[in-house]
């Protein structure tokens, strides 16, 4: 049986979460094809191959170069049919989520979202998924002939021992129905590390007192190569843009390290970060509830601790 992995490109580069999807697919099925849309940088097909795909279906149609939920769902369904794929794996994202749900209906597949681990196939096909905003897991049994898995970040590591992938042009059929939604503009921070993709995240809260004090958060983030985030009050007050809001009703992150500065740790904020591998909390209030959810803590004034921490890291970086 074969599997298809949907690989999202970010400025021509395969997203790391998508490479995780390729590696996940290759741990389940031996025969893995990746599908990509739009201009792909040199070397990216090799990366996808190393991650575990034997073939890359490349859609270079100009009309499909920019993300389009309905048209991508149609193209991916067609690719599954063409390749005889019984499994589709993709990374959770603002594109992957809606595309996977549409493909599930088109192909009559069983869909599981927020998958955190490889399937247990000893008795049927069982996958573990994150629920209650990271507060619990469910084991789902998928009984459809076709299966679609939407992966949470860090569900598996990206493989580095795959072979090379051949690149095949793929020109899916197009229907006017799929182009009813006109994307008139796209505003996107460039050159920044995207929050949901980031391995390291530095977030600031109300304790920072105002948007003018974000320089030290950005310095620390830049020093370690982290994305920046914030708490809900901070984005509500427009100190930071909404796409940086981490929490129950914002972005849910699962980085290796989450650094929270001046955030008390309301349960709604914790819901967005509880899948982080390690949490470091910097807060002057020793009673801040966030310390209970943290691995490391510094009780101290953020305005002193953060710049000193940045210096200490720089010193060790040499």
Partner 1 sequence: MKILVCITHVPDTTSKISFTDNNTKFDKTGVQFIIGPYDDYALARAVELKEANGGSITVLNVGEAETEPTIRKALAIGADDAVRVNAFPSDAFFVAKQITKVAKEGEYDLILMGRESIDFNGGQVHSMVGELMGLPSVSPVMVLDVEGNTAKIQREIEGGKEFMELELPFVAGCQEPIAEWKIPNMRGIMSARSKPLNVVEPTGDASSVKAETFEMPPAKGDVKLIDPENLDELVNLLKNDAKVL
Between residue 57 and residue 96, which ones bind partner 1 under the rule CB under 8 A? 67, 69-70, 73, 93-95
Contacts for 200 with CB less than 8 Å, ≥ 6 apart: 221, 224, 225, 226, 227, 255, 256, 257, 259
d(CA 232, CA 301): 21
Q: How far is the CB of 316 from partner 1 (least distance, A)?
A: 5
277 binds partner 1 (CB under 8 A): yes
In the complex with partner 1, the residue whose CB is nearer, 169 or 182, is 182
In the complex with partner 1, the residue whose CB is nearer, 30 or 256, is 256
98 binds partner 1 (CB under 8 A): yes
Assigned token pair, 197: 């993709």
d(CA 218, CA 15): 23
In the complex with partner 1, the residue whose CB is nearer, 169 or 185, is 185
Closest CA to 282 of 267, 264, 297, 293: 297
208 binds partner 1 (CB under 8 A): no
Orientation of helix 302-317 relative to helix 215-224, angle to 10°? 20
d(CA 257, CA 220): 13
- The single residue among 23, 133, 203, 231 that binds partner 1, judged by CB under 8 A, is 133
In the complex with partner 1, the residue whose CB is nearer, 81 or 168, is 81
195 binds partner 1 (CB under 8 A): yes
Among 44-52, 160-168, 205-213, 270-278, which window interacts with partner 1 (CB under 8 A)? 270-278
The DSSP call for residue 19 is: H
Q: How far is the CB of 191 from partner 1 (least distance, A)?
A: 10
Q: How far is the CB of 132 from partner 1 (least distance, A)?
A: 5
318 binds partner 1 (CB under 8 A): no
2 binds partner 1 (CB under 8 A): no
221 binds partner 1 (CB under 8 A): no
287 binds partner 1 (CB under 8 A): no
d(CA 239, CA 215): 12
Question: 130-139 contacts: CB < 8 A, separation 24 or more?
Answer: 130/275, 133/248, 133/252, 133/271, 133/272, 133/274, 134/252, 134/271, 134/272, 134/274, 134/275, 135/271, 135/274
136 binds partner 1 (CB under 8 A): yes
- The single residue among 65, 139, 157, 171 that binds partner 1, judged by CB under 8 A, is 139
Q: How far is the CB of 294 from partner 1 (least distance, A)?
A: 4
140 binds partner 1 (CB under 8 A): yes
In the complex with partner 1, the residue whose CB is nearer, 30 or 141, is 141
In the complex with partner 1, the residue whose CB is nearer, 169 or 183, is 183
- 3 state SS of 281: strand
173 binds partner 1 (CB under 8 A): no
Q: In which residue are the tokens 């395969």 written?
A: 14
176 binds partner 1 (CB under 8 A): no
200 binds partner 1 (CB under 8 A): yes
d(CA 203, CA 315): 22
């Amino acid at each position: 049986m074969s599997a298809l992995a949907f690989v999202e490109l970010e400025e021509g580069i395969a997203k790391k979460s998508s490479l995780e999807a390729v590696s996940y697919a290759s741990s389940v099925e031996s025969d893995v094809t990746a599908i990509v849309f739009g201009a792909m940088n040199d070397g990216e097909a090799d990366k996808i191959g190393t991650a575990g795909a034997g073939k890359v279906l490349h859609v270079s149609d100009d009309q499909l170069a920019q993300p389009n939920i309905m048209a991508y769902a149609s193209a991916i369904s067609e690719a599954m049919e063409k390749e005889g794929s019984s499994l589709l794996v993709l990374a959770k994202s603002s594109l992957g989520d809606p595309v996977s749900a549409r493909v599930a209906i088109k192909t009559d597949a069983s869909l599981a979202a927020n998958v955190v681990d490889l399937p247990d196939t000893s008795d049927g096909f069982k996958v573990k998924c994150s629920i209650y905003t990271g507060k619990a897991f469910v084991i789902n049994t998928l009984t459809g002939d076709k299966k679609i898995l939407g992966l949470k970040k860090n569900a598996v590591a990206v493989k580095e021992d795959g072979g090379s992938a051949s690149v095949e042009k793929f020109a899916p059929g197009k229907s006017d129905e799929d182009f009813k939604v006109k994307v008139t503009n796209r505003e996107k921070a460039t050159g920044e590390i995207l929050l949901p993709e980031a391995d390291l995240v530095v977030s600031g809260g109300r304790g920072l007192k105002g948007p003018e004090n974000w320089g030290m958060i950005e310095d620390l983030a830049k020093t370690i190569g982290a994305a920046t985030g914030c708490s809900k009050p901070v984005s509500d007050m427009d100190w930071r843009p909404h796409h940086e809001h981490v929490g129950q009703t914002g972005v849910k992150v699962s980085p290796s390290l989450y650094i929270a500065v001046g955030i008390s740790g309301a349960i709604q904020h914790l819901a967005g970060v509880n899948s982080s591998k390690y949490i470091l909390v910097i807060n002057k209030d020793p009673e801040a509830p966030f310390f209970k959810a943290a691995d490391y803590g510094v009780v101290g004034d953020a305005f002193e601790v953060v710049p000193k921490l940045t210096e200490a890291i720089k010193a060790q970086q040499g």
